[in-house]
Amino acid sequence: MATDVTIPPLGESITEASVGQWLKQPGDAVKADEPIVSLETDKVAVEVPSPVDGVLTEHLAAVGDTVAVGSAIARVEAGAAAAAPAPKAEAPKAAEAPKAEAAKPAAAAPAPAAPAAAEAEAEADYDAISPAVRRLLGDYHLDPASITGSGKDGRLTKADVLTAIDNGSAKLLSSGAKPAAAAPKAARNEERVRMTRLRQTIARRLKEAQNTAAMLTTFNDVDMTAVIAARDTYRDMFEKKHGVRLGFMSFFVKAVTLALRDVPSVNAAIEGDEIVYRDYADIGVAVSSPGGLVVPILRDADKLSFAETEKAIGDFGRRARDGQLKLDELQGGTFTISNGGVFGSLMSTPIINPPQSGVLGMHRIEDRPVVRNGQIAIRPMMYLALSYDHRLIDGREAVTFLVRVKEAIEDPARLLLDM
């Protein structure tokens, strides 16, 4: 008996999604509640499970197709067993060849033949990889040969790559190595890949922010000496007690919540002809995912401890990479922190995430000469950038906010004393 696999409800106001990747192919055995397809919504990837045990008999949509909530996307034959692959036909024996031909010794193959065959085989294997998996390999600069595929005929799936990244078994391409997909130098190839729904949403919202808000960016720098010293002193004790590493982000989250309390307009939003002020701080922390940048929300961040903050951020990062963030974790937020420093950024002008009115950009820590007590000293410095909606936030308020953050980071005791 064939059973339709339908698209479940995906969250408030979401009526459709795109097929991102088929996790099971026709003829594969599936179990009840086993994911068979990954869908891409405007915010996250959602896996749709099989409703019954059986065999997947048919795909009703192709990768990239838009599917509506409630529509059938595949069929499963309940209770059926997977068909065994047919044995490959043996090549016909050359029994009719003249004996003289059989007696002739085989000609020696040219020396380059073996490398050429291996290269052709590697290129053929890469061609069998889906575009979504290719993008993921390219994003992380991974060697596909170092990852074991679990798909049909040993093909790589997105889950295989993410698992290899998580357990550290995936190998990076060496600086001199070329990916298996590299075409001969004489070739000039192009590949057209449809934008994911997440990337389309990111593009649309960023452009809306530029068209709507009167955006301006103010910069400052911060001496990280005190925070680095505190982290080095208490890192081992902190991890032993709380089971999580002490990073820099929890210091900045705390510093931002104190600054938002002192400069409430940065935590406010414009709605029509009204300004909405909040007495709480829901901080969005931008994290990287295979599909693009996502911003999960730390609810009531002003009430979280350092350990609670670090645990939440670490959990967000892992689940963003695995595509397991929930929709409600990406909605709302009153202010955003984006850390481009983890990718090596020295300075940038981040774009606000509407309807928020501000975003703080962190950057890489770099030893630079600065003047301290009339003497030139080498200190670990970081540039901070606050992009804000100038319709709501004046320059004086923006500068005051950055100075509050700077003071709290350069004197971490303020974070403990709520100053």
User: Angle at CA 276, nearest 5°, toward 268 and 332?
Assistant: 70
| Confidence check: pLDDT of 22 > 60 | yes
Measured CA to CA, the distance from residue 262 to residue 208 in angstroms comes to 29
- Identify whether the C-beta of residue 235 lies closer than 8 Å to the C-beta of residue 325: no
Spot the catalytic one: 53, 322, 390, 411.
390
**Residue 107 confidence (pLDDT):** 47
- In order of start, what are the domains of the chain with their CATH numbers? 2-78 (2.40.50.100), 119-189 (4.10.320.10), 200-417 (3.30.559.10)
Q: Is 307 helix (H, G, I), strand (E, B) or coil?
A: helix
Q: Which tokens belong to 138?
A: 């390219």
**For residue range 256-276, what is the model confidence (pLDDT) as tens digits?**
999 999 999 999 999 989 999
Query: What number is the average pLDDT over the span 312-320?
Result: 89
Measured CA to CA, the distance from residue 205 to residue 211 in angstroms comes to 10
Share of the chain above pLDDT 90, in %: 37
Q: Is 258 helix (H, G, I), strand (E, B) or coil?
A: helix
Measured CA to CA, the distance from residue 319 to residue 315 in angstroms comes to 6
Q: Is 363 among the residues known to form the active site? A: no
Query: What number is the average pLDDT over the span 389-394?
Result: 94
| Confidence check: pLDDT of 162 > 60 | yes
Range in 149-158, 369-378, 407-416 with the lowest mean pLDDT = 149-158
Q: Is 153 among the residues known to form the active site? A: no
Q: How far is CA 207 from CA 14, 75, 231, 334, in A?
A: 21, 40, 38, 19
**Residue 201 confidence (pLDDT):** 77
Query: What number is the average pLDDT over the span 150-163?
Result: 75
- Of 357, 362, 330, the C-alpha closest to 343 is 362
Residues near 323 by Cβ (< 8 Å), separated by ≥ 6? 38, 44, 45, 47, 162, 289, 290, 291
| Confidence check: pLDDT of 205 > 50 | yes
- Partnered with residue 359 across adjacent β-strands are 336, 387
- Identify whether the C-beta of residue 249 lies closer than 8 Å to the C-beta of residue 337: yes
